[in-house]
């Protein structure tokens, strides 16, 4: 049998077969039984959580001639639906039919009575993709719908649906399906197909699917086309380029023991072998989280992925503050690469930041006083507070600095520097310089003076650009590619107003002036030997 069809074969044909969303189903059933059916529903929630499936089951149930807890499967309505041939149940995929014309067509038809059933049901999938004019065309019908018409809007992005439409719908929030239920369903299907599996493999698949049943089944299909006997952990790791727990601990060790080049090589290997970096990032976060939990109570029973030995191993190489910093860095990767682009680049930057935190910590530890030792015993919560304070302080100083740069900003300088953005696309496909494209592409030129350029960016992105290594790298890039001898400073978009306020204050104090911008030495091209040395240290030297 071909496994391309697992999802379709096991698509629920009854409410009782749906995984998760029990409350929604209960409310919908009660509405049918008590004959209190709304005219418009909004099904909102992540992909693969059953929105369309439940919409179809609901459409079937309200048209069934003999609905009890489930549709009867025998009446004309049920039979027509089974053949996918019910004239009154109309599905529209807004992703491909998002125009006002498609909606007008629907609106014109709503006044005709249903042909076979009691209700005409319009299921609009990916409803957030409808254009504004399409929504407005729909709105009039939603305001005064004919009695026999029901709309079900399904969407992964409810905030994009205009409020006037939202307010006319009864809304249901679909939640991600929990791992336990997903695993149970997968095992049920595999058993039914007479296939083998091991629990750990199913666990990995459930993690990868992130609460979406459809994704889980399509991963299973992929695994079965790789090995038709069943689903095994080894195969899952291989096919998805996932790494074992030990390998993840090894990467964290490399980062925290100063072998950053090794860690990055390790990462690139995983990437080149087709590894899923998002999954790796989530796993690293899980591993660190478990080590932190273990540090707090020292009990193995709260650990899912790590053994107590592995948790202790991690705590030996990094302290709690470092691990909390790791979490911040890795979380930024997930935020920044939400469109699944530039993952490698962001993850490499995160590794560098994680390693730098280690260095700072080590320097501090050299100067350690007894006070520090007392501090070590403070709780994780206190540490987190401490870090938060430091971060707040840092940002505040930056804002003052950036505001003072604005004092000498000039329009002519900004116009000149716009060349960087005009040419940025050219670097998109250059292996060496792609990273610089990635760093700046989502930023916006804000102001320039003769020594500095201020760009606007998301908070996480601004932090990356402002880290010393990246800043130096960008400086190098500007000089070599554009002959622009300036430092780039990134400003968190949300702090723009604040900075302008500080700027006005400074401008009123007449003595204030822009600071002298310190620039790094210009790096000369490295020879191959130097590159090797940077990557591998002196260990390659032949004596």
For Zn ion, give the closer residue by CB, 61 or 436: 61
For Zn ion, give the closer residue by CB, 64 or 165: 64
Shortest gap between Cβ of 40 and Zn ion (angstroms)? 24
Dihedral angle over CA of 354, 358, 363, 364, nearest 10: 90
Shortest gap between Cβ of 71 and Zn ion (angstroms)? 5
Near Zn ion in 162-181, by CB under 5 A:
none
For Zn ion, give the closer residue by CB, 5 or 115: 115
Shortest gap between Cβ of 140 and Zn ion (angstroms)? 32
For Zn ion, give the closer residue by CB, 57 or 154: 57
Contact status, residue 325 vs residue 357, Cβ threshold 8 Å: yes
Distances (CA, A) of 140 to 54, 133, 136, 257, 310: 26, 12, 7, 64, 61
Scanning 61-69, 209-217, 294-302, 357-365 for contacts with Zn ion by CB under 5 A, the matching segment is: 61-69
For Zn ion, give the closer residue by CB, 73 or 451: 73
For Zn ion, give the closer residue by CB, 119 or 475: 119
Give every CB contact of residue 75 below 8 A, 6+ residues apart in sequence. Answer: 64, 65, 66
Beta-carbon-side half-sphere exposure of residue 422 (alpha carbons within 13 Å): 7
How far apart (Å, rounded) are the C-alpha atoms in residues 305 and 476? 43
Shortest gap between Cβ of 33 and Zn ion (angstroms)? 15
Site string for Zn ion, 62-91 (x = CB under 5 A): --x------xx--x--x-------------
Distances (CA, A) of 466 to 167, 333, 515: 43, 16, 17
Shortest gap between Cβ of 53 and Zn ion (angstroms)? 18
Q: Sign of the C-alpha dihedral, residues 75, 80, 84, 86? A: negative
For Zn ion, give the closer residue by CB, 64 or 236: 64
Shortest gap between Cβ of 155 and Zn ion (angstroms)? 28
Scanning 57-65, 458-466, 506-514, 524-532 for contacts with Zn ion by CB under 5 A, the matching segment is: 57-65
Shortest gap between Cβ of 63 and Zn ion (angstroms)? 8
Contact status, residue 308 vs residue 347, Cβ threshold 8 Å: no
For Zn ion, give the closer residue by CB, 54 or 64: 64
Q: What angle do CA 31, 37, 39 make, to 5 degrees?
A: 150
Shortest gap between Cβ of 118 and Zn ion (angstroms)? 11
How far apart (Å, rounded) are the C-alpha atoms in residues 88 and 117? 7
Shortest gap between Cβ of 117 and Zn ion (angstroms)? 10
DSSP assignment string, 153-191: EEES-GGGS-HHHHTTSEEEEPPPPPHHHHHHHHHHHHH
Shortest gap between Cβ of 72 and Zn ion (angstroms)? 4
Closest Cα to residue 242, out of 223, 221, 215?
Answer: 223
For Zn ion, give the closer residue by CB, 66 or 269: 66
Q: Which residue is nearest to Zn ion (CB)?
A: 64
For Zn ion, give the closer residue by CB, 119 or 172: 119
Closest Cα to residue 428, out of 341, 350, 523?
Answer: 341
Closest Cα to residue 413, out of 444, 450, 439?
Answer: 450
Shortest gap between Cβ of 116 and Zn ion (angstroms)? 11
Closest Cα to residue 438, out of 427, 446, 454?
Answer: 427
How far apart (Å, rounded) are the C-alpha atoms in residues 141 and 143? 5
Shortest gap between Cβ of 81 and Zn ion (angstroms)? 8
For Zn ion, give the closer residue by CB, 72 or 315: 72
DSSP reduced 3-state for 458: coil
Q: What angle do CA 341, 440, 527 make, to 5 degrees?
A: 90
DSSP assignment string, 301-326: GG-SS--HHHHHHHHHHS-HHHHHHH
Quote the DSSP letter at residue 292. Answer: H
Scanning 36-44, 59-67, 224-232, 527-535 for contacts with Zn ion by CB under 5 A, the matching segment is: 59-67
For Zn ion, give the closer residue by CB, 74 or 229: 74
Question: If binding is defined by CB under 5 A, does position 59 make contact with Zn ion?
Answer: no
Closest Cα to residue 359, out of 260, 278, 261, 489?
Answer: 260
How far apart (Å, rounded) are the C-alpha atoms in residues 119 and 77? 11
Q: The tokens of 440 are what?
A: 């700046």
Shortest gap between Cβ of 76 and Zn ion (angstroms)? 8
DSSP reduced 3-state for 258: coil
Shortest gap between Cβ of 150 and Zn ion (angstroms)? 17
Pairing state between β 89-93 and 120-125:
parallel
For Zn ion, give the closer residue by CB, 78 or 252: 78
Number of amino acids touching Zn ion (CB under 5 A): 5
DSSP reduced 3-state for 462: helix
For Zn ion, give the closer residue by CB, 88 or 283: 88
Interface residues with Zn ion (CB under 5 A) are 64, 71-72, 75, 78
């Amino acid at each position: 049998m071909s496994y391309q069809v697992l999802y379709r074969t096991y698509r629920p044909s009854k409410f009782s077969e749906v995984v998760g969303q029990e409350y929604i189903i209960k409310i919908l059933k009660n509405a049918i039984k008590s004959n209190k059916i709304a005219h418009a529903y909004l099904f909102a929630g992540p992909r693969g959580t059953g929105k369309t499936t439940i919409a179809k089951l609901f459409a079937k149930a309200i048209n069934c001639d003999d609905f009890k807890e489930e549709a009867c499967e025998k009446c004309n309505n049920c039979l027509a639906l089974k053949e996918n041939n019910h004239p009154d149940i109309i599905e529209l995929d807004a992703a491909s039919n998002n125009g006002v014309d498609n909606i007008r067509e629907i609106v014109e038809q709503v006044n005709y009575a249903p042909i076979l059933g009691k209700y005409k049901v319009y299921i609009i999938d990916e409803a957030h993709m409808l254009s504004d004019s399409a929504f407005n065309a729909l709105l009039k019908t939603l305001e005064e719908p004919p009695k026999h018409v029901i709309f079900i809007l399904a969407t992964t992005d409810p905030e994009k649906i205009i409020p006037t439409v939202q307010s006319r719908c009864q809304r249901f929030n679909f939640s991600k399906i929990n791992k336990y239920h997903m695993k149970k369903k997968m095992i049920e299907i595999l058993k039914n197909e007479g296939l083998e599996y091991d629990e750990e493999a199913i666990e990995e698949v459930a993690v990868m699917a992130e609460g979406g049943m459809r994704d889980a089944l399509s991963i299973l299909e992929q695994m079965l086309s790789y090995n038709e006997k069943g689903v095994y952990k080894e195969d899952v790791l291989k096919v998805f380029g996932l790494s074992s727990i030990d390998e993840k601990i090894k990467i964290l060790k490399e980062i925290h023991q100063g072998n950053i080049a090794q860690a990055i090589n390790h990462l690139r290997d995983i990437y080149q072998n087709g590894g899923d970096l998002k999954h790796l990032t989530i796993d690293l976060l899980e591993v660190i989280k478990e080590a932190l939990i273990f540090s707090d109570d020292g009990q193995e029973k709260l650990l899912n992925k790590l053994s107590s030995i592995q948790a202790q191993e991690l705590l030996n190489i990094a302290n709690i503050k470092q691990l909390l910093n790791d979490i911040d860095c890795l979380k930024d990767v997930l935020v920044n690469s939400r469109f699944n682009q530039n993952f490698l680049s962001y993850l490499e930057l995160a590794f560098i930041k994680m390693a730098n935190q280690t260095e700072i910590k080590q320097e501090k530890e050299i100067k350690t006083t007894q006070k520090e030792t007392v501090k070590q015993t403070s709780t994780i919560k206190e540490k987190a507070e401490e870090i938060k304070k430091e971060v707040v302080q840092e940002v505040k100083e930056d804002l003052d600095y950036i505001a003072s740069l604005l004092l000498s900003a000039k329009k002519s300088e900004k116009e000149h520097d716009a060349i960087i953005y005009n040419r940025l696309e050219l670097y998109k496909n250059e292996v060496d310089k792609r990273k610089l494209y990635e760093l700046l592409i989502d930023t916006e030129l804000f102001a320039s003076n003769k020594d500095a350029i201020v760009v606007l960016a998301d908070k996480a992105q601004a932090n990356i650009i402002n880290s010393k290594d990246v800043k130096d790298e960008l400086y190098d890039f500007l000089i070599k590619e554009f002959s622009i001898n300036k430092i780039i400073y990134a400003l968190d978009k949300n702090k723009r107003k604040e900075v302008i306020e500080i700027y006005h204050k400074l401008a009123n104090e007449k003595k204030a002036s822009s600071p002298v911008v310190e620039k790094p030495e210009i790096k000369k091209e490295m020879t191959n030997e130097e590159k090797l040395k940077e990557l591998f240290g002196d260990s390659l030297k032949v004596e």
